[in-house]
Structure 1
Amino acid sequence: MTKEELGKLYPIKLSEYTTNWEQLYEQEIKDLQTILGDNLALGFEHIGSTAIPGMLAKPTIDILVDIPEDTKLCEIIDKMPDNYIHMQEVTSYIMFVKGYTPTGLANESFHIHLGPKSKHFLWDRVFFRNYLIMNPNEQKEYINLKIKLQKKFKYDREGYTHGKSEYIKRITTKAKEIANSIKI
């Protein structure tokens, strides 16, 4: 399938925040814990816009899973059921999606990101999330950016994501500087 066809099948749709997203996250981590077990799933974080109360978001739940440093890809793939699709083009960590169907997104969709905490680029998403939760004015700026990008890149997920990257990098850097300045 071409990028254009994928864009038409899975367009960028933004939804108002709902507390249901937290419930979906909680249920999904229970499922993932059962699938992966305590030896592979060391911890979980709800990341992305669905983790930020009041945030406009694509209604896909992003979950970050802490895995042991020496985990082999096959250890994860062998355990994951067929309804989780391994995103092979993501090579810097392990990623699965769930809820992507041949006719579009299901009512419940997930992005499962797996990596050890040493992969800072992955775990920095927690700093970004926390900063936006604590800064409502920054949330408004991010919402405005997302609306602008959704209009421009409705059928181009890569363009939409790339359009947010400079903002996310700037806020993450600020959040990490603040966190480092208050460590005891």
Structure 2
Amino acid sequence: MTKSLSEMSLEELWQLFPIILKKHNSEYKEWYREEKKDLLAALPKKYIERINHIGSTAVPGLLAKPTVDILLEISREAGIAKIEAELKNAGWTLMHRNEDSQELNLVFNKGYTPHGFADKVFHLHLRYLDDWDELYFRDYLIAHPKIAENYGALKKNLEAEYKNNRDGYTEAKTNFITKWTAEARKDFKNKYKINKKD
């Protein structure tokens, strides 16, 4: 009998969902557009501040896990429980929760099955509207193809060692991401800074 995902240990999940890198798929952009449309239909529009395609699949030509990452930013007045319930009704599964009075970081997935990855896989990062590093890093890689190529090479070098260790894979990329995000913030100034009302 096949275990459900909630019954599996972290090690079992990492075996079932290994790090797999693929050449850029031009259809990622369309996957994002379709999912964005569905999110706008499923959630109260008054709470949605901004939706963005982030991560490596948002960068043309970049080697990536075939997972489309979406950053959904909501207002601080949003009803989190209602949004979470609506996302679950729309087929999203909560993977991670970090919530307090100041910060919100809920991560949902779609396309993870007890038999492995579905044909289309998504991660949804639900946060309050803010000046997020992921937006700067994405834009910097798009503007600097050579840096994006170096990032792809780094990931390729890490793929075998961390195939079944997602946390280790993420940690091993941190220095590269931190360095170039800092450069992005210099180049793009306060591109995504929110003008908060007093």
TM-score by length of 2: 0.85
1:158 aligns with 2:167: yes
- Contact kept, 8 Å, 1:3 with 1:156, in 2: the verdict is no
**Residues 50 and 129 of structure 2 are in contact (CA less than 8 Å); yes or no, is this contact kept in structure 1?**
no
Q: Which runs of 5+ in 1 are unaligned?
A: none
1:127 and 2:136 correspond:
yes
The answer on whether the counterparts of 1:43 and 1:66 sit within 8 Å (CA) in structure 2 is yes
Alpha-carbon RMSD across the aligned residues, in angstroms, is 1.7
Any stretches of 5+ residues in structure 2 without a counterpart? 1-7, 192-198
Q: Which stretch shows the higher mean deviation, 36-45 or 25-34?
A: 36-45
Distance 2:44 2:136 in 1: 26
1:78 aligned onto 2:90:
no
Distance in 2 between residues matched to 1:149 and 1:70, nearest whole Å:
41
* 1:82 Cα deviation after fit: 5.8
Which one of 105, 114, 120 corresponds to residue 93 of structure 1? 105
CA offsets 1:38-59 (integer angstroms, 9 cap, x no match): 1122221100000000000000
SS at match of 1:13: coil
| Match for residue 117 of structure 1 among 106, 114, 129 | 129
- Structure 1-normalised TM-score? 0.91
Is 1:10 the equivalent of 2:22? no
Number of residues of Structure 1 aligned to a counterpart in Structure 2: 179
Distance 2:120 2:190 in 1: 39
Match of 1:20 in 2: 27
* Segments of 4+ moved more than 4 angstroms: 89-92
Q: Does 1:147 align with 2:156?
A: yes
Could you list the per-position Cα deviations for residues 53-83 of structure 1 after superposition, in whole angstroms to 9, with x for gaps in the alignment? 0000000000011200232420211212162
Q: How far is the alpha carbon of 1:25 from its aligned partner? A: 0.3
1-structure distance, mates of 2:143, 2:164: 31
